[in-house]
Amino acid sequence: MQGSLEEALAIALRCDRKLVTLVVAGRTDAGVHALHQVCHVDIPEGVKLGNLESLQKRVQGTLRTDDIALHQISLAPEGFEARFSALSREYEYRIDDRSSKRNPLHHLFTYRSPYALDDAAMNTLSRKLRGLHDWAAFCRPKPGATTIRTLTHFEWTRDADGILTGSVIADAFCHSMVRSLVGSAVAVGRGKLSATEVLRLRDKGERTSAWTTMPAKGLTLISVEYPSDDQLAQRATDTRAKRGPTSD
């Protein structure tokens, strides 16, 4: 998505492609979907934006794809930074297990599990995982990056067709953290691990292979929350201070 948008913006603004660099609120692996992504770009000196509604239409037309829907282009408030100003990100992971009524129209964004999963056991784990912790056990290591995050919400529900949806909210996520969290819940739902064992491995603070990092296709970025305009700059400053200049 990022590369396609950068190219479309450069064409619409009639400027050098190398001068257009997007900063996104939440980086996603290949195959992960997003219903609500936020990004910002510093406009090169001398480039005229013109009417923003017209610019949005030009960029969307230049994209020439239905895979990306550009909902709004606006001037950023003072101090806004798409990544560091964010208060939280929400993701959902959809699973079609043996208890579900399969819908082939949803296969592109729903993981199909060959097992019947115990969602009550998964919710027991999810509730116990919440809070401020070191999530090294759930993240791919990155030199110099912190793995400390605050997981504020993690819950599983079933819809009318029995599709399991895991809702995950945190101030930020490490690389592959959401899919690893889901993997631990699936392991508990299958009866391979207990909630106690997952918590013990989390508190050990080391990358583990006790559960599988789930495929990207079931994961969707749902929303990104920001503070009021007058708090944007301070939030970005605080986030950088807490996580360090090389954090994810």
Active site residues: 29
Q: Strand 22-24 relative to strand 39-41: parallel, antiparallel, unpaired? A: antiparallel
**Token digits of residue 65:** 């794809």
- Give the separation between CA 3 and CA 9, rounded to whole angstroms: 10
Cα-based distances in Å from 140 to 136, 150, 171, 209: 8, 17, 18, 11
Alpha-carbon distance of 88 to 151, in angstroms, equals 10
DSSP conformation class of 214:
P
CA–CA gap between residue 157 and residue 190 (Å, rounded) = 16
Three-state secondary structure call for residue 63: helix
Contact yes or no for 243/234 (Cβ under 8 A)? no
Rounded to the nearest 10 degrees, the angle between the axes of helix 2-13 and helix 52-63 is 120
